[in-house]
Amino acid sequence: MSVRHFSLKRRAVAVVAASALMAAGCGGSGDAGGEPDGPVKIKVWAWYPSFKPVVDLFNKTHTDVQIEWTNAGTGQDQYTKLQTALKAGKGAPDVVMIEFQEIPTFQLTKHLVDMGEYGANAAKGNYVDWAWKQVSNGGKVYAIPVDAGPMAMLYRKDIFDKYKLTVPKTWAEFKSQAQKLKAASPNSFMTDFGANDGGFMTGLLWQAGARPFNYTAAKSPDIGLSVNGAQAKSTMAYWEDMVGSGLADTTAFQTTDFYSGLTTGKYATYLAAGWGPGYLASVAKKTEGKWRAAPLPQWTAGANAQGDWGGSAFAVTDQAKHPKQATKVAMEIFGTSKDAWRIGIDQAFLFPTVTPILQWDYFQGKKYGFFGGQKVNEVFVPAYNGIGEFHWSPFNSYYFSQMTTAMNQAIEKKSSWPGALDTVQQNVSKYASQQGFKVAQ
């Protein structure tokens, strides 16, 4: 599932705003090819919260290009519409929001324009290496990164104080603190392991150094698959033990039970991503001031291994009539604009990928009332910078669904979690071969 399911209310507002915008801008651009007279209209699909003021800002500050924005649904809903429109050859937007893990899927079907031909490589210097590699392959640029989800540990300071827990720096300490908590408060859990979220689980594996896929657009149809590699297996064995000993809960993420667990203090920590602070503030309002952020525990003491959960980018589709202007839109909607990012940070709770904004005092020094005035980005920015390169497969929805199914079955039947990874590896390999890939284990 996607990363930004959080505010339903906000989504509803966005939908209303989108339909109003559509009604207002029904004219559309009729001219094909050549340099147009008036401003070029670029259709954009995105589901960022509070996106309308960002679009308004862009339209106010640009005379040559104007954005017509539509919220075509969140995550899979939008991808379904996009796939259909791309297959049909019409009806797709010029610029579209795509999460990192889905970019290879859309790239493979050759529906994404190489923005490198239209000057997108100029932006390369604004991004750290791993983020740029999520969207590009050599000089070919398939999307411009917007936000990311570096992982960290959000914890309840009140609960930690009450049971005299220390903030764990390693996963071993995380477990010992969990045992201490369990002994003092049997109904509490150290955290919740949401096995229904492929992005969450992959983020944890990413931190552990697991690399399930070895794939780039240039190498296609060759793909390396090692979903059940040693690091992945040891990570899952750790969580199997945590869950088996009653230290971690397995309530599905984004369910009422999960929200109530966050609010009532059933969970002492929430392993979250860069968008987590805003998400938490909207789903567990009552706990304002009780949370703090700390770096993700490490497998090796003193190491700096990080993982990412979520993140998205703007791509240009092959249906764009003005790919040059569309590229400009993708690069400049958020770009390095402080005004746009002020909205993105304060209202949409996005974690920026672009270095000038990450280094901006306003962002780094922003105090979050929900976290008792803590400057949480001082935790998330180093986490972001510590993330390593990671490849996704061009059939991510299949991989996510196999992961969530296998892990949930392992939880339910109390069977081996590392064994579940073997099942995923088998199924994904079979699927990849069926799809015509040359699979290397």
Partner 1 sequence: MRRRSGRQTVAGWLFVTPFTILLVAFLLLPMAYAAKLSLYRSTLVEGEVFAWLGNYRQAFGDPEFRRGVVRVVVFGLVQTPVMIGLSLVFALLIDAGTSRLARFFRLAAFVPYAVPVVIGTLMWGFLYSPRTGLFSSVSDLDLLSSGTVLYSLGNVVTWQWAGYNMIVLYAALQGLPREVYESARIDGAGPLQIAVRIKTPMISAAIVLVTIFTIIGTLQFFTEPLILQPLDPGTITNSYTPNVYAYHQAFSYQQYNYSAAISFLLGAVVFIGSYIFLFVTRRRSALR
Least distance between partner 1 and beta carbon 260 (Å): 6
Q: Tokens standing for 168?
A: 């764990």
- Which residue pairs, CB below 8 angstroms and at least 24 apart, start in 279-284? 279/6, 279/349, 280/154, 280/370, 281/349, 281/368, 281/370, 282/6, 282/7, 282/10, 283/6, 283/259, 284/259
Stretch that binds partner 1, among 231-239, 248-256, 294-302, 377-385 (CB under 8 A): 248-256
User: Which C-beta is closer to partner 1: that of 282 or that of 435?
Assistant: 435
For residue 78, the SS3 value is helix
φ and ψ of 202, to 5 deg: -65, -35
Identity of residue 297? P
d(CA 223, CA 251): 33
Give Rg (Cα) of the chain: 22
**Given 251, 306, 312, 377, the residue binding partner 1 (CB under 8 A):** 251
| 254-273 binders of partner 1 (CB under 8 A) | 254-257, 260-261
**Given 89, 91, 221, 373, the residue binding partner 1 (CB under 8 A):** 221
**Given 401, 430, 440, 441, the residue binding partner 1 (CB under 8 A):** 401
254 close to 3: Cβ distance less than 8 angstroms:
no
Q: What are the DSSP E strand ranges found in 6-151? A: 40-45, 65-70, 95-99, 136-137, 140-141, 144-150
CA atoms within 13 A on the CB side of 317: 25
User: Which C-beta is closer to partner 1: that of 9 or that of 438?
Assistant: 438
User: Which C-beta is closer to partner 1: that of 63 or that of 256?
Assistant: 256
User: Which C-beta is closer to partner 1: that of 299 or that of 398?
Assistant: 398
Bridge partners for 153 per DSSP: 271, 294
318 binds partner 1, rule: CB under 8 A:
no
d(CA 347, CA 260): 24
User: Which C-beta is closer to partner 1: that of 55 or that of 248?
Assistant: 248
132 binds partner 1, rule: CB under 8 A:
no
Nearest to 212 by CA among 391, 432, 436, 335: 391
404 binds partner 1, rule: CB under 8 A:
yes
- Helix H or strand E encompassing 192: strand 191-192
φ and ψ of 180, to 5 deg: -60, -45
| 83-112 binders of partner 1 (CB under 8 A) | 83, 108-109
**Given 19, 61, 76, 245, the residue binding partner 1 (CB under 8 A):** 76
Q: What are the DSSP E strand ranges found in 132-193? A: 136-137, 140-141, 144-150, 152-156, 191-192
Least distance between partner 1 and beta carbon 24 (Å): 30
45 close to 314: Cβ distance less than 8 angstroms:
no
**Given 59, 176, 185, 397, the residue binding partner 1 (CB under 8 A):** 397
Least distance between partner 1 and beta carbon 249 (Å): 9
**Given 32, 37, 183, 413, the residue binding partner 1 (CB under 8 A):** 413
Least distance between partner 1 and beta carbon 219 (Å): 12
Q: Tokens standing for 194?
A: 């949401």
**CB within 8 A of 302, min separation 6: which ones?**
none
d(CA 194, CA 199): 10
Contact code string over 164-203 relative to partner 1, x by CB under 8 A: -------------------------------xx-------
Stretch that binds partner 1, among 67-75, 209-217, 331-339, 390-398 (CB under 8 A): 390-398
User: Which C-beta is closer to partner 1: that of 237 or that of 252?
Assistant: 252
- Number of chain residues interacting with partner 1 (CB under 8 A): 33
244 binds partner 1, rule: CB under 8 A:
no
Stretch that binds partner 1, among 55-63, 157-165, 249-257, 270-278 (CB under 8 A): 249-257
Least distance between partner 1 and beta carbon 396 (Å): 10
Please report, as ranges, the residues that interact with partner 1 according to CB under 8 A: 76, 80, 83, 108-109, 195-196, 220-221, 251-252, 254-257, 260-261, 394-395, 397-398, 401, 404-405, 408-409, 411-413, 434-437
